[in-house]
């Protein structure tokens, strides 16, 4: 991807030079030609050069070579003020909700380029909801710790402002997710997309010193998360935070982890063992119910929200009918605001958002046990 970025960035610069010559000469001709039919032809040609300039701009963004003019910006205020334009752009069939959580959402970013990125994401979301749906944009301050940063090259631990753009559309398959940031890759019919929207957003975020991730479930929707460094300050590589060990009384508690993604199950299980719990795991709701029926000493259910077959909520309702005292902690790749507003969970339900750290999991479990 880095090599492709360098190539496309270099080509974009060269094409911009060519387009400048073409556009300039067309403009000169427009000033000299008086024939109305010829004027129309020139205007159509000029429109094509404008489209070419937009295309090279997207290539520059993907290649992280677009000129940025970063300024200290309140990203929550930027999203709030820009939401009306997004609402008009996506049309009446898609409901837009914006949530700005807390303060301290200042970052050193190029505001117009960020707005362009948000517009790209909103248009993609609209196209993924042809029959309408809900688009949620959430701004929140988050901390990416050393363990999480180690999973991504060039990502540094520190404080970030998270802008999450979540839709209730068709979602992406694993194959599409793996290629989503590739330039010119698109699932849209010919003529309806260049395949540069997400790659442009990816390049802008990386050039701004941030991080971008995708969480998607086929048939349920997609959440694109932009992590932008807070206040423009360089984030620092922090030493690993000490793992919070669970109190000794937790060592007699068992947690059942349920997720259809084996990697998520493995991480959550390892984290819980580090925190002192005994752990069981299952890949779907049916396996989980069998384990619960066969084991009377399961104290906590940690389950994904969206799974093939029965959902996490369906599982929790079945569990509560069988074991009313069992605690339930949901986990999801969507933001909490998007999940609650989509009606998947009730307000007050305990929920942890992927990706999460061992420390965050410990805090959520403490809150769960105190409820």
DSSP string, 219-242: TTEEEEEEEEEBTTPPP--PPPPP
pLDDT on residue 248: 46
Classified by CATH at the fold level, domain 71-229 comes out as: Heat Shock Protein 90 (3.30.565)
Cα separation, 159 vs 150, whole angstroms: 15
Q: What Å distances lie between residue 293 and 197, 253, 280, 320, 334, CA to CA?
A: 48, 17, 13, 12, 30
| Phi, psi for residue 48 in degrees, rounded to 5 | -65, -40
Hey, which residues does 106 pair with through a beta bridge? 74
Q: Which helix (H) or strand (E) holds 116?
A: helix 111-127
| Residue 230: C-alpha distances to residues 102, 141, 157, 212, 310 (Å) | 14, 8, 12, 15, 39
Residue 105: count other Cβ atoms within 10 Å of its Cβ: 23
**Joined tokens for residue 346:** 């009730």
**Confidence (pLDDT) at 242:** 38
Question: Would you write out the chain's pLDDT as a tens digit for each of its 371 residues?
Answer: 556 555 665 666 567 667 777 887 787 788 888 898 998 999 899 888 888 877 766 565 555 455 566 788 899 999 998 898 899 889 989 999 999 987 778 988 888 888 888 988 999 899 999 999 999 999 999 888 887 777 777 788 888 999 999 999 999 998 888 888 877 677 766 555 656 678 778 888 888 888 999 999 898 999 999 999 887 444 443 333 333 444 445 557 899 999 988 878 888 898 898 888 999 999 999 999 999 999 888 999 999 988 888 989 999 999 999 999 999 999 887 666 666 666 566 656 888 877 677 778 888 998 887 77
The phi-psi region of residue 94 (left if phi > 0; otherwise alpha if psi is between -120 and 50; otherwise beta) is beta
Q: Which of 292, 293, 300, 313 is closest to 272 using CA atoms?
A: 300
CA 183-189-195 angle, to 5 degrees, is 15
Domain ranges of the chain: 2-62, 71-229, 248-370
Dihedral-angle region of residue 164 (phi above 0 means left; psi in -120 to 50 means alpha; beta otherwise): beta
How far apart, in whole angstroms, are the C-alpha atoms of residue 111 and residue 121? Answer: 15
> Which of 16, 39, 15 lies closest to 27 in space, CA to CA?
39
Distance CA 129, CA 222 (A): 11
Dihedral-angle region of residue 342 (phi above 0 means left; psi in -120 to 50 means alpha; beta otherwise): alpha
pLDDT of residue 234: 43
Q: Give the residue among 130, 174, 172, 134 at the shortest CA–CA distance from 335.
A: 134
CB 62 within 8 A of CB 56: no
Task: Name the CATH code of domain 248-370 (choices 1.10.220.10, 3.30.1360.70, 3.40.50.2300, 3.40.50.1820).
Answer: 3.40.50.2300
Q: Which residues pair with 228 in a beta bridge?
A: 161
CB 255, CB 300: distance < 8 Å: yes
Q: What is the pLDDT of residue 153?
A: 72
What number of residues does the chain have? 371
Residues 6+ apart with CB under 8 A from 65: 9, 12, 13, 207
Q: Peptide bond preceding 355: is omega within 30 degrees of 0, i.e. cis?
A: yes
CA distances to 156, 199, 354, 356, 357 from 268, in Å: 22, 31, 11, 9, 9
> What is the 8-class DSSP label of residue 285?
H
Q: What is the pLDDT of residue 66?
A: 54
Pairing between β-strand 278-282 and β-strand 254-258 as defined by DSSP bridges: parallel
Both structure tokens of 111: 């505001």
């Amino acid at each position: 991807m880095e090599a492709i970025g360098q190539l496309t960035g270099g080509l974009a610069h060269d094409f911009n030079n060519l387009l400048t010559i073409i556009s300039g000469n067309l403009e000169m001709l427009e000033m000299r030609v008086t024939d109305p039919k010829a004027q129309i032809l020139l205007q159509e040609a000029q429109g094509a050069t404008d489209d070419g300039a937009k295309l090279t701009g997207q290539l520059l963004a993907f290649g992280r070579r677009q000129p940025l003019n970063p300024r200290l910006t309140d990203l929550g205020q930027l999203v709030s003020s820009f939401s009306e334009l997004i609402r008009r752009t996506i049309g009446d069939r898609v409901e837009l909700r914006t949530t700005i959580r807390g303060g301290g959402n200042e970052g050193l970013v190029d505001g117009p380029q960020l707005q362009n990125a948000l517009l790209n994401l909103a248009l993609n979301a609209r196209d993924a909801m042809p029959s309408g749906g809900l688009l949620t944009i959430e701004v929140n301050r988050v901390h990416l710790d050393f363990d999480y940063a180690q999973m991504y090259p060039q990502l540094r631990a520190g404080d970030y402002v998270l802008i999450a753009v979540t839709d209730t559309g068709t979602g992406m398959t694993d194959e599409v997710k793996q290629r989503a940031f590739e330039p010119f890759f698109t699932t849209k019919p010919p003529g309806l997309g260049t395949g540069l929207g997400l790659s442009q957003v990816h390049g802008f975020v990386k050039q701004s010193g941030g991080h971008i991730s995708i969480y998607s479930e086929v048939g349920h929707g997609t959440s694109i998360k932009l992590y932008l460094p807070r206040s423009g300050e360089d984030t620092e590589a922090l030493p690993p935070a000490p793992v919070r060990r669970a109190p000794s009384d937790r060592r007699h508690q068992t947690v059942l982890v349920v997720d259809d993604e084996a990697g998520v199950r493995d991480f959550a299980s390892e984290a819980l063992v580090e925190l002192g719990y005994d752990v069981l795991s299952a890949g779907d709701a049916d396996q989980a119910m069998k384990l619960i029926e066969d084991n009377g000493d399961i104290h906590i259910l940690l389950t994904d929200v969206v799974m093939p077959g029965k959902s996490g909520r369906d599982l929790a309702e079945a569990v509560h009918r069988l074991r009313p005292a069992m605690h339930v902690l949901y986990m999801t790749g969507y933001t909490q605001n998007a999940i609650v507003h989509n009606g998947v969970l009730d307000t007050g339900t305990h929920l942890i958002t992927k990706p999460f750290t061992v420390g965050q999991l410990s805090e959520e479990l403490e809150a769960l046990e105190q409820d």
